[in-house]
């Protein structure tokens, strides 16, 4: 490996790194991709159709597998042994989900794929809060078009909703029909004047290249051996490998960017997780796609070349403006859904129908006490029984025997779960830095998180819960405890939605941002960031599609520079 002259070295193989590898290798550049986790191939390891009864503890979550036994996540979760992170004293809780596998979190993500809208790139210009991006929606739109076609996004026809961009003809695959329970949920929302729309999902409804169409069974969180649900490991890395230009090294835990005497990036230092040996790898350019947390950590731990606080951190911006998504949830039991004909409701694992944020005009009129919105995700119907689902179905009367069985049959399919995914405005209390004392097992300083939800997020969470309880009430149902009406209690923990972004944001100049509008470091011009770290705002729309679009654009720019000899 050391002998091969690499043009570009990419750190991380998830959405950002996988996308960068795809573009750069196709442009003829020799790429070395370093992944901290082990090798992983969904075709060999995905437990398709495997039943809960075949798994330990019916597949229920444990500290070893916090999202259940069959969750694709390898080697990680909320905690990784000997690779700690800390939460500062006095901070609100923060959780950090990390896998240790090729493809990273794309192997288990929800696949909800919504474009950011025009407002989302210029939030400060609209309401004076947060910050504007150095790019507009129109500049990014062509990259969304390309990404949707490449990874395969299914969705409905143009809807014309405000700040919820439709895709041009030919970008999307057809959406599947709604699930039966969604029809009634849609009627309840409609009765409140709130429209629903087909979900945008990175799940194929038609074959795409080697990848097969979804067969509407087996949860996407397990990964997808047929490639229907997009993962870097099926949708990007195989194609990049096929060029012959990609070298992947797994179990390579990168901890710093190395600099040459001229102050340019010469490569990175990493630890082989299996041998514990330190190594250097060299390339003409470096792309950090390790995820917003790990990318910030690498930058802050890169203290050579006079960067006393880490690369690009002269103004203290690395780690700043850390954001997540606002989440709330409630389950409802809906008697009106009892007795519907027996159907197979598996479908895609995620909802086929969602609710885009509907309140832009109300916010413009000053009718809402929070400035930024949320969309609604849902599930329900005749889901594969799990311990949780069965608990929600139990009527609490303590029935046994035939009466119990009859009650459960009657109520099965009548529970729905509503969840909000809302915008968070960046604030000064949410950031990560290096813990001054704690190091990981290799002696590398670890991240310390600082978190405090702002009032806008809490008010938004309160609104979401009130909306959901009204929807459940309008459907004649009852909410299933526990749930909270107070947004302060209902709101998810920092990091819990696993949408952490914004620790190395892009901007117009080096004093207010870490990278330029193409993800190119202001401080080290052959160093690029291509993951959620570059985000300037965290709209309600789930970030992965935008990470892919931005990474593709960054990689394309990098390839242009390389071809012009300007690296």
Partner 1 sequence: MSETVNLDTPKLDRRAVLVWAGALATALGAGYYFDLGITGAKPAKAAGYGRDPNLLQPSVPWPRVLTAAQLASVKVIADYIFPREGKTPSASDVGVHQLIDEWVSAPYPEFEADRELITAGLHHLDLFARLTGHARDFATANAGVQREVLTKVGDVASALPTAPFWKRLRRLILGGYYTTEAGFADIGYIGNVALKSFPAPTPEIVAAVERAAQQLGLNDRIGSRA
Among 67, 194, 510, 567, binds partner 1 (CB under 8 A): 194
Q: Residues 235 to 254: which contact partner 1 by CB under 8 A? A: none
Please select the residue that binds partner 1; options are 138, 275, 400, 509, rule is CB under 8 A: 400
Name which position in 362, 384, 438, 466 contacts partner 1 (CB under 8 A).
384
Count the neighbouring beta carbons within 10 Å of the beta carbon of residue 93: 12
In angstroms, the Cα distances linking 36 to 88, 195, 210, 219 are 25, 43, 27, 26
- Distance from C-alpha of 84 to C-alpha of 72, rounded to nearest angstrom: 21
Shortest distance in whole angstroms from residue 559 CB to partner 1: 35
Buried b / exposed e across 517-553, counting CB within 10 Å, b at 16+?
Answer: bbbbbbbbbbbbbbbbbbbbbbbbbbbbbbbbbbbbb
8 Å CB contact between 531 and 292:
yes
Residue 14 contacts partner 1 per CB under 8 A:
no
Q: Does 43 bind partner 1 (CB under 8 A)?
A: no
Residues between 348 and 377 that touch partner 1 (CB under 8 A): 348, 352
**Minimum CB distance to partner 1, residue 398 (Å):** 4
CB of 65 to partner 1, least distance (A): 7
Q: Across-strand partners of 266?
A: none
Q: Interface with partner 1 by CB under 8 A: which range of 40-48, 299-307, 503-511, 547-555?
A: 40-48
Which helix (H) or strand (E) element contains residue 108? none
Check binding of 62 to partner 1 (CB under 8 A): yes
Ranges within 419-478 binding partner 1 (CB under 8 A)? 474-476
The nearest distance, CB 507 to partner 1, in angstroms, is 38
**Options 341, 366, 436, 443; binder of partner 1; rule CB under 8 A:** 341
**Binding residues for partner 1 restricted to 158-177, rule: CB under 8 A:** 176-177
Q: Which of residues 16, 17, 18, 76 is near partner 1 by CB under 8 A?
A: 76
Q: Is 55 in the site for partner 1 (CB under 8 A)?
A: yes
Region binding partner 1 by CB under 8 A among candidate stretches 41-49, 117-125, 366-374, 556-564: 41-49
Nearer to partner 1, 1 or 387 (CB): 387
Place of tokens 């909000």: 420
Q: Of 141 and 194, which CB lies nearer to partner 1 in the complex structure?
A: 194
Give the nearest distance from C-beta 334 to partner 1 in angstroms.
Answer: 9
Would strands 415-422 and 374-380 be described as parallel, antiparallel, or unpaired? antiparallel
Nearer to partner 1, 31 or 229 (CB): 229
Among the listed residues 4, 5, 125, 191, the single contact to partner 1 using CB under 8 A: 191
User: Which of positions 474-493 make contact with partner 1 (CB under 8 A)?
Assistant: 474-476
Q: What DSSP line would sit under 153-213, residue for residue?
A: -EE-S----TT-PPPPTTSSEEPPPPPHHHHHHHHHHHHTT---EE--BSB-SS-BTTBPP
Q: Which of 125, 280, 343, 369 binds partner 1 (CB under 8 A)?
A: 343
Q: Is 278 in the site for partner 1 (CB under 8 A)?
A: no
| Position 345 contacts partner 1 (CB under 8 A) | yes
R_g over Cα of the chain: 23
Asked if 141 touches partner 1 (CB under 8 A), the answer is: no
| Measured distance CA(317)–CA(12) in Å, rounded | 22
- CA angle (147, 152, 153) in 5-degree steps: 90
Nearest partner of 36 among 300, 274, 257, judged by Cα: 274
**Contact criterion met (CB below 8 Å) for 499 and 537:** no
DSSP, collapsed to helix, strand or coil, labels residue 280 as strand
Q: Which is nearer to partner 1, 180 or 371 (CB)?
A: 180
> What is the closest distance, in whole angstroms, from the C-beta atom of residue 381 to partner 1 in the complex?
10
Helix boundaries (H) for 343-398: 360-364, 387-393
Q: What is the nearest approach in angstroms of partner 1 to the Cβ of residue 180?
A: 5
Q: How many residues bind partner 1 (CB under 8 A)?
A: 85
Give the integer Cα–Cα distance in Å for 509 and 524.
14
Q: How far is the CB of 342 from partner 1 (least distance, A)?
A: 5
Site residues for partner 1, 116-135, by CB under 8 A, read none
375 close to 540: Cβ distance less than 8 angstroms: yes
Cβ neighbours around 344 below 10 Å, total: 10
């Amino acid at each position: 490996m050391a002998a091969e002259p690499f043009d570009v070295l990419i750190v991380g193989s998830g959405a950002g790194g996988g996308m960068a590898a795809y573009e750069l290798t196709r442009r003829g550049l020799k790429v070395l991709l370093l992944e901290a986790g082990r090798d992983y191939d969904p075709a060999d390891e995905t437990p398709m159709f495997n039943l809960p009864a075949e798994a330990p503890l019916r597949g229920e979550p444990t500290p070893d597998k916090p999202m259940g036994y069959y969750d694709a996540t390898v080697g990680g979760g909320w905690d990784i042994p000997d690779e700690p992170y800390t939460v500062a004293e006095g901070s609100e809780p923060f959780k950090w989900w990390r896998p240790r596998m090729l493809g990273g979190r794309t192997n288990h993500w929800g696949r909800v794929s919504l474009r950011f809208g025009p407002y989302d790139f210029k939030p400060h210009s609209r309401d004076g809060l947060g910050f504007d991006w150095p790019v507009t929606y129109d500049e990014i739109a062509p990259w969304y078009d390309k990404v949707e076609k490449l990874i395969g996004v299914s969705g409905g026809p143009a809807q014309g909703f405000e700040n919820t961009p439709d895709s041009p003809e030919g970008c999307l695959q057809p959406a599947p029909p709604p699930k039966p329970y969604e029809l009634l949920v849609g009627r309840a929302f409609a009765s409140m004047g709130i429209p629903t729309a087909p979900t945008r999902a990175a799940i194929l409804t038609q074959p795409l290249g080697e990848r097969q169409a979804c067969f509407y069974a087996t949860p996407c969180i397990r990964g997808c051996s047929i490639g229907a649900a997009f993962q870097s490991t099926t949708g990007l890395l195989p194609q990049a490998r096929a060029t012959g230009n990609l070298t992947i090294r797994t179990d390579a835990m990168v901890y710093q960017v190395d600099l040459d005497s001229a102050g340019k990036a010469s490569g990175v230092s990493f630890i082989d997780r299996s041998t514990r040996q330190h190594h250097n790898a060299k390339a003409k350019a470096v792309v950090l796609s390790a995820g917003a947390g790990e990318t910030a950590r690498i930058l802050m731990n890169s203290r050579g070349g006079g960067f006393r606080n880490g690369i690009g951190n002269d103004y203290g911006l690395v780690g700043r403006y850390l954001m997540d998504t606002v989440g709330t949830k409630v389950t409802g039991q809906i008697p009106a859904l009892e007795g519907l004909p027996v159907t197979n409701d598996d479908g895609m694992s995620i909802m086929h129908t969602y609710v885009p944020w509907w309140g832009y005009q109300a916010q413009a009129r000053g009718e809402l006490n929070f400035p930024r919105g949320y969309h609604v995700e849902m599930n329900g119907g005749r889901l594969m029984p799990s311990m949780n689902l069965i608990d929600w179905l139990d009527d609490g009367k303590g029935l046994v025997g035939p009466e119990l069985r009859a009650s459960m049959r009657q109520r099965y399919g009548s529970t729905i779960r509503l969840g909000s995914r809302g915008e968070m405005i960046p604030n000064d209390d949410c950031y990560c830095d290096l813990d001054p004392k704690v190091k990981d097992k290799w002696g590398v300083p670890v991240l310390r998180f600082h978190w405090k939800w702002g009032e806008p997020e809490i008010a938004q969470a309160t609104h979401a819960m009130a909306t959901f309880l009204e929807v459940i009430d309008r459907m004649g149902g009852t909410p299933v405890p526990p749930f909270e009406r107070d947004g302060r209690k209902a709101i998810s923990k920092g990091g819990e939605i696993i949408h952490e972004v914004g620790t190395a944001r892009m901007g117009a100049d080096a004093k207010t941002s870490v990278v330029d509008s193409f993800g190119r470091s202001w401080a080290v011009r052959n160093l690029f960031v291509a993951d959620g770290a570059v985000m300037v705002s965290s709209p309600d729309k789930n970030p992965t599609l935008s990470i892919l679009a931005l990474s593709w654009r960054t990689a394309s720019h990098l390839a242009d520079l390389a071809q012009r000899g300007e690296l």
